[in-house]
Every structure is written in C-alpha cells, then in structure tokens.
Amino acid sequence: FDGVTSMLYHHHGEGHTFGGYDSYFGPDADDDAILYLMLASTLVREFKKSALLIAEDMSGLPGLCRPIAEGGVGFDYRLAMGVPDFWIKTLKHKRDEDWDLGELWHQLVNRRQGEKTVAYAESHDQALVGDKTLAHWLYDAAIYSNMGVLDGDAQAARATALHKLIRLITMSAGGEAYLNFMGNEFGHPEWVDFPRVGNDWSYHFARRQWSLADNPGLRFSQLLAFDQAMLQLARERQVLVKGPATLLNIDYGNQVIAFERAGLVFVVSFNPSESFFDYGIPIVKAGRYRLVLNSDRPEFGGHSRLDETVVYDTMGGGGTAEAPRLRLYVPNRTALVFSINS
C-alpha cells in the first residue's frame, strides 16, 4: 500500500515530526482512513490468505503491522523508508572517513519490535529519473568506463567494496525482510524513466540492462555473485526470522562494527585505507568459529586477503572476567560473517 502515512493523519505527515504517542493517536489521526485500511486488510485476507500486506509508512504508527484481533491495522510489514534515504545522504554529503557508525546502527535497528519491517538499501525514489541509483552515486563516471574486472581503477574498486557492505549490513540488521529494487543486486548504472512528454515519449530508460550482470568480464557480475551468496546464507540460516541483531561493538575510530544475528557474527569494516591484524571482537558464545561469507573473495570483486580455511578459537571467557573474543585479521572495506562450529 503506497503512501499510507498520508492517509493515516489529517496533516498527511507533511512537516510533522513523530515522537510521543499523542502524535499518533490524538486528533490528527484520521479515524476513517484507519478504518478503511483495517477493512482493506480484512478483505485481502478473505480472498487471498497467502497475501503479504506491506505498508509504505514513515511515521511508525504503533499497531500498523499487528493483527486486527489485537487492535492493529492488519499489515504484515512496513517499509524501512529511512534506511535508503540515510545511505544516499551519507554518500552525497560525507567523506568515507566521516561516516558515523553510531548513526548507521540507529537507522538500521530503529523499528518497533513485534512489528516486522522490510529493509532495503535502494528505493524506487533513487532509481527514478531526477536522482541516481546507489551504484551510480558510488561509481559516478567510472560506471561507464572502468567496470572491467581487470581494470585497476581506484574509484571503481571503492564503489564495488562499499556496494557489497551497504547491502549486507542493510539486509542482516535492518529488518525482518529484505527488498531489492530491480537492478540493485548487480549495481545497475542508470535510472528508470517511462515515456512522457518531457522525454519525447522515449523508451530508452524504461529498462533494466540484465545483460550487464551476465558478462563475466564486468564488475556487475561480481556484485550479483555476492548478492546471491548473501541471500543464500540468509535463507540457510534464517537470518531474517531469528530476532533482531545484537550489537557486539562499534569502533568509531577505526570504523569497524560487529553484531550477532541468528548465531552468526558479522564484522564490517568501513575503514577506507587501514586493515587490522589481531583485531579483537567481543563474542557472546565462546567456541571455534569459521568464516562463512567473505566480501573480499575474488569472485566478488575482492582482493583475496583472507585464508578461509582458518578456524578461529575464542580467547577469554570460560569463567574469566573478560568476555570471550575473536582475534581476527580485518582488511579495509570488507564484510566478514562467522559461524560457530557445531
């Protein structure tokens, strides 16, 4: 359901900041619209029990995604609309060295527990004409000239690394479902523009160039390969249905964040230049860990800086005052996912 926020309130959500419960349930609430949405969700379920109902709501109305029997409106999910906006604003206005991982984490986990959220890194708003896709913001002009897998262009290498990190951390920490806007899985370079008077009814940009991802000589194929591996891991380990992510550590100075979800340990380094040897990560559960996803693999456009056969034993814990830790080699601009050996 598109534009739900504009329906829920008499002020349509325009120029309004949502904070306390009075901003949701006071006189600004449009009771007729809320009743309509409850009736609509009831009707959908009568005709199509397997349907998923998703609300495009930025206000965070409590109960929107709870059953009507509980006093909710009946939706299954709401879109995490602030997440793609955060990524675009960060890419537009901040140097890599200035990224605030605390703000990033807040954006990813700032949602109502018990109400499921769809996380996504790129929205249709960015991909439509007038803005640029996530990949286009990252690669800029290099997306047309330096996308060969053997091309050593520094800007293209940076963009490839960050595109992977952005998608992985959004998927793994941002919600209970993950949405991919068509083409973002392989870094589609261009916007979508449908035939209209302003473009002389052209169909040129009313397309997605799937052939780019099918060419093994281009970085697009590497971005797609990472996306497939990321989603396969999420499915196998049921990452999105195993409860919210738990923060393990944010290292603001070194720009490394670590968190746990579904029994997996995610270590993401946004550091643009420095790699870290013997880097300590606090862990909830002591044991032996193995690497199950590594964004630095060559088939993902990485530099193959890690030996994936290594098994990592935690240090500390076991009755000591110190929490168990993993000691890792963390290359710059990489995402590493570890699983405890069963």
159/173 Cα distance (integer angstroms): 21
Question: Quick one: angle between helices 154-173 and 101-109, nearest 10?
Answer: 40
Yes or no: say if 187 and 135 are a contact pair by the CB < 8 Å rule.
yes
Tokens found for residue 340: 């405890």
166/233 Cα distance (integer angstroms): 16
Yes or no: say if 258 and 87 are a contact pair by the CB < 8 Å rule.
no
Which helix (H) or strand (E) segment holds residue 291: the answer is: strand 288-294
Burial of 237 (0-12, 13-18, 19+ CB in 10 A): middle
Yes or no: say if 168 and 227 are a contact pair by the CB < 8 Å rule.
no
Tokens found for residue 53: 């109902």
* Cα four-point dihedral sign 262, 258, 339, 157: positive
Query: Of these residues, 2, 299, 313, 322, which one is catalytic?
Result: 2
Report strand pairing: 288-294 vs 256-261. unpaired
DSSP 16-71: ----STHHHHSTTB-HHHHHHHHHHHHHHHHH-TT---EE--SS--TTTTS-GGGT
Q: Residues 18, 24, 30, CA angle at the centre, nearest 5°?
A: 120
Name the residue with tokens 């370079």.
189
Query: Of these residues, 30, 56, 151, 153, which one is catalytic?
Result: 56
Catalytic: 56? yes
Taking alpha carbons only, the member of 341, 211, 238 closest to residue 288 is 341
HSE at residue 127, side-chain half, CA atoms within 13 A, is 22
Catalytic: 274? no
Active site residues: 2, 56
